Chains A and B, each alone.
Chain A
Amino acid sequence: MTSNKQNKKAVDLSLRQFIKNLGSIAGGTALLASTPWLQSFTTDKLSEIKKEKARLAVIGTGSRGQYHIHNMLEIGHLEIVALCDNYMPNLKDAAALCPKAKTYTDYKKLLDSAEIDGVVIATPLNWHAPIVLDALDAGKHVFCEKAMALAMDECKAIYSAYQQTDKVLYFGLQQLFDEKYIKGIQMIHNGLIGDIVGLRCHWFRNHDWRRPVPSPELERKINWRLYWESSAGLMTELGSHQLEICNWAMGQRVPVSVSGMGDIVHWKDGREVYDSVNLVYRYADGVKINYESLISNKFNGMENQILGNKGTAELAQGLYYLEDDNSSPAIQQLLAEIQDKVFAAIPAAGPSWRSETKGKYKPHAIVKNTAGVHSGASMIGADADGSDLIMSAFAQACITGEQAKNIVEEAYVATILCLLGNQAMAEQKTIYFPEEYKIPYMKF
């Protein structure tokens, strides 16, 4: 564990250093302007608070809550002072991880405690809005898991509360702190792949998405993801990250409409939410996001492809490909053979090899030695995906009181898009972005 711990600290510092460097290189200010939430997240700012610790509570201590607790235990400038869950086995497991923390079964009582600076909310989706609003009202800083809320009106209420509060509000969009996404999006904004002409995001798994239920009356509590009263299904649980990435890549531009189809194709086990969704989000200029998620076949894994007229970025893998970058297969063979110390004939002699007939593209890494690629298989979270860093940034913000820019807006846009997608699938018609949910941040 020690080496892992050191490793995590090193990752934290190295991204901070990376961000600091961004600010000091030529043009870096402009780059940093496209990721404004990072501006307060530097080594200098961290050293300003070196003696202080944010006192945080975790509300919702299931699998994702415990994942956060593991990350939080590695962060020097916070301490976990309280835990809350109304499901005792989860609360007990969390308490075992942080024995000094007070335990609660009612979050409202936890919010009454003056010894808590901020809360980390990792509850089922239907609880996000009430707890976020109550916590801000109680004067707590708030980190809430994505998505923002179960309903569009709840998102609007949170957005309004955010505008009025002096407290810090974060949502768990960890990719905003993932170096390969930060660099990848900046490369896209710098024209690496040309004009964005399409976006394709998918998330495939082969898993029923169920948790074991000790007794039948706990089904809806434990498998909350499967029922509309507590979940918005694949869109909010998986799609929200991906639609946020699209929004980020498109520079705050938001689709004007969405159409889609959702069905229960395979897991016909009494669940209500779709296990198969296909949607098309359309921007005003005709550029489209194709979104697809299926949880009964994992062949395609998870990917966020940004398609440009000059290249393609696969941001989940941290790779990009260029339209006119195809090395001849013979040359590739020769390079491989020389590395393997093999001398053989390569199939080089032929009528002019024409790059457009070749199907394979050469991958380039966005970040050298990229680690922690998210295969999409984990239901809880991947290593080095920015989850620890966003938590570190939140804890820092709890001390400084400095709200990171754009995070709430990005979470709002992504969640509304997910919920509009669900509406389009439920009503089986094209839904146009409703006026009442537009905010000034959005560009259409």
Chain B
Amino acid sequence: MMINSLQYYNDTQMSHGSMGKIMGTRFEVILLDKSEDAASAIWHDIQQELMRLDKLLNRFDPESEIAKMNTQAFLHPVAVHPELFQILTDCRIYHEKTMGLFDISLKDFSKVVLLESDCAVSFLSPEITLDLGAYAKGYALQVIGGKLKKYNVLNAFLSFGDSSILGIGNHPYGNSWKVSVTNPFVHHEVLGEIDLQHTSLSTSGNSPSYSNHIVRPDSGRRNNERKLVCVVAGNPVDAEVLSTALMVATDQERQEILQNFEIESFKIYNIE
């Protein structure tokens, strides 16, 4: 349990929570202007919530709701937790809005049947496995962001392994949270800067140590381009979904997809 720690900095009334092995990466939060006791209570709540979400959404945990569904939904319709059902419904909408490029089945979402009346899921093909890897971190940021609002946290910085970030309010010495996009192939090379203020940033791409992990669902081709896609949006789920979809979209598709969303900005960095 020690890997999930909260450190309080007295001088600056700043708390740093850090939680390992969650959503496939590390979650970190910097909370400002809260007392040690208040931050501690908030951090406890955040950890509980993240563990709950991981149990719901992480298909690599055999005990998770989604893993159980994945093993049985081809055999018979599986009733799932209403929250998971809502998420899957949401994913179907995103699937449509991204012209099929956001696809949690990684193959063919048309083979996934959502039975609204029973809150159940059925697969029409044994090859279907649902993976919320391109969705869950954005969803978790949205949920945790909502919690922080309830706790009246005005300024905070939340990050899942640097790739999914939510900036609430601003840095104590600035009017936003400022992050730079760095070239994963060239150490210390800055590609651009992004200001976050009540907005979230999701970055997708390949790096020397982690490549070929994004798949174009219709062709099944793994993307190995040296590029990064950054999407800034008020809604962390929009940012998360789009950064993946735009990574594999053609220029034409990108134009059409973006018409379906209201985002702050996006940027594609092609790295030579």
Contact = CB atoms under 8 A, between A and B. Distances in A.
Contact of B193 (A326, A341, A345): A345
B77 interface: no
B70 interface: no
A160 interface: no
B161 A338 contact: no
A428 B32 CA distance: 61
Nearest to A347: B182
Interface stretch (B13-21, B89-97, B250-258): B13-21
Interface stretch (A105-113, A115-123, A351-359): A351-359
A325 interface: yes
Interface stretch (A78-86, A146-154, A327-335): A327-335
Contacts of B26: 326-328, 353, 355
B28 A331 contact: yes
Interface stretch (B39-47, B117-125, B171-179): B171-179
Contacts of B174: 343
A215 B73 CA distance: 91
Contacts, number: 126
A349 interface: yes
B162 interface: yes
Contacts of B204: 351
A327 B18 contact: yes
Interface-central residue, B12, B14, B162, B210, by most chain A CB under 10 Å:
B162
B105 interface: no
A96 interface: no
Given A328-B28, A355-B20, A350 B182 contact: yes
A352 to B, nearest CB: 4
Given A334-B30, A343-B173, A347-B190, A353 B162 contact: yes
B30 A349 contact: no
A339 interface: yes
A331 to B, nearest CB: 5
Interface in A53-77: none
B230 interface: yes
A349 B172 contact: no
A380 interface: no
Contacts of A328: 26, 28, 159, 161-162
A341 B161 contact: no
B184 interface: yes
A15 interface: no
Given A327-B26, A346-B179, A351 B173 contact: no
Nearest to B162: A353
A324 B203 contact: no
Interface in A271-287: none
A399 interface: no
Contacts of A324: 3, 20-21
A192 interface: yes
Q: Report, as a range, how many residues of chain B touch the other chain.
A: 35 or more
Given A322-B2, A330-B162, A349 B16 contact: no
A1 interface: no
Interface string A193-228: 000000000000000000000000000000000000
Interface in B1-58: 2-3, 5, 9, 11-12, 14, 16, 18, 20-21, 24-26, 28, 30, 32
A97 interface: no
B98 interface: no
A88 interface: no
Contact of A334 (B157, B182, B201, B203): B157
A348 interface: yes
A327 B29 CA distance: 11
Given A327-B28, A349-B162, A339 B9 contact: yes
Nearest to B190: A347
Nearest to B20: A324
B209 interface: yes
Nearest to B29: A331
B12 A330 contact: no
A344 interface: yes
Nearest to B176: A343
Contacts of A334: 30, 157
Contact of A354 (B12, B32, B209): B209
B241 interface: no
A348 B28 CA distance: 12
Contacts of B162: 328, 330, 348-350, 352-353
Q: Return the 5 tightest CB-CB contacts between A and B, nearest first.
A: A343-B174, A345-B180, A353-B162, A343-B173, A345-B178
Interface of A: 192, 322, 324-328, 330-331, 334-335, 338-339, 341-355, 357, 364
29 contacts: A324-B3, A325-B5, A326-B26, A327-B28, A328-B162, A335-B16, A338-B171, A338-B173, A339-B9, A342-B173, A345-B179, A345-B190, A346-B178, A346-B180, A347-B181, A348-B179, A349-B162, A349-B181, A350-B162, A350-B163, A350-B181, A350-B228, A351-B184, A351-B204, A351-B207, A352-B25, A355-B25, A355-B26, A355-B161
Given A325-B5, A330-B159, A348-B159, 7 more contacts: A325-B2, A328-B28, A330-B162, A334-B30, A346-B178, A351-B205, A355-B20
